[in-house]
Amino acid sequence: MHKKIYNRIKKYNTIVIARHIGPDPDSLGAQIGLKDIIINNFPNKNVYAVGAPTAKFKYLGTLDKLPDDKHLEEALLIVIDTPDKKRIDGVNVELFKESIKIDHHPFIESVCDIEWIDDTSSSACQMIIELCMKTKLEITKYAAERLFMGLVADTNRFLFNHDNESTVKTFDLVKKLLMSSKIDVTPLYSNLYLRNINEMKLQGYISQNMIITENGVGYITLTEQIIKEHKVDAASAGNLVNNFNYIEGVLVWIMISEDNKQNLLRINIRSRGPHINTVAEEYNGGGHKYASGARVKTYDEAYEIVEKLDELCKEYKESLEGGEIDENK
């Protein structure tokens, strides 16, 4: 598969790299990193990293305007970190001569001519590192930094390790990346983890007000008023979900944030036990077994999600020996 992808990259003069809507550091790092790698390995190619930009992650680099349709007829499209067609940001797969999907989400549907799907990979960035290590693609320093940031963000600093995140393979690839690129990781961690005081205050509010259900779902409702009072936006509020892992007795945790601009409720869900993506998929969402998101219109739907996840926690605990969670495992 690696060779097949390398040969397609070598073959095409124009290459467009896309990723999912609502970008995160992993999808952006993989996209912008791969663009830099291709341009440096093949200086005569035209490579575009496309999709809506996001100010929050501008430290990862800039994005390009999609070339005219007539250029796409002879172009290769690489879709990164996106399992289904409806979540691809800003391009129509059908307009391209050929397409490749590189993704670490559980399979949803076939979208591209060539699909490399590995849901045992920690991140899309890990897959790009692997692709380069297995082919002649040399990783530039700029790309190494982006790939490192994306991988670190998706594994939450190598913390996630249920069954498909920070594996021996992850550490091995990161070791090789660090040895070959000699990047300084300190400023990269600052990019990812420096928080403003308003977000920290909102984190304090969430800790004080999180409701914990009988079976171990922790959830918080962040109304527009609360979000405004803390001077953050709905996306940053939802992002705080990553900071609530390892609360004793909480297996699944959820941020419900009002986004009045888009007239919807953003639901960010994380788990350290039950697989949550199936419930997210029922509510205009999806994601990974332990990290999912959904978008709903009403609070009734949001609380239905809480109830369904509570039921999942109950079943999960019953499936464990003795029905109790061993917090030390």
Q: Which residues bind ligand AMP (CB under 6 A)?
A: 20, 24, 87, 241, 268, 284-288, 291-295
The DSSP line for 34-94 is: HHHHHHHHSTTSEEEE-S---GGGGGG----PPPPHHHHTT-EEEEES--SGGGB-S--GG
Q: Which is nearer to ligand AMP, 170 or 181 (CB)?
A: 170
Q: How far is the CB of 291 from ligand AMP (least distance, A)?
A: 4
Q: Output the smallest distance, CB 258 to ligand AMP, in A.
A: 15
Cα–Cα distance measured from residue 248 to residue 67, given in angstroms and rounded to the nearest whole number? 51
For every residue of 143-154, DSSP letters joined together read HHHHHHHHHHHH
Task: Report the C-alpha gap between 304 and 122 in whole angstroms.
Answer: 30
In whole angstroms, the minimum distance from the beta carbon of 33 to ligand AMP comes to: 18
Tell me how far apart the 2 most distant CA atoms of the chain are, in Å. 63
Closest CA to 267 of 221, 233, 207: 221
Q: How far is the CB of 118 from ligand AMP (least distance, A)?
A: 14
CB of 14 to ligand AMP, least distance (A): 27
Which of 20, 101 has the CB closer to ligand AMP?
Answer: 20
Return the number of the residue (144 or 241) whose C-beta is nearest ligand AMP: 241
For 116, phi and psi rounded to 5 degrees? -110, 105
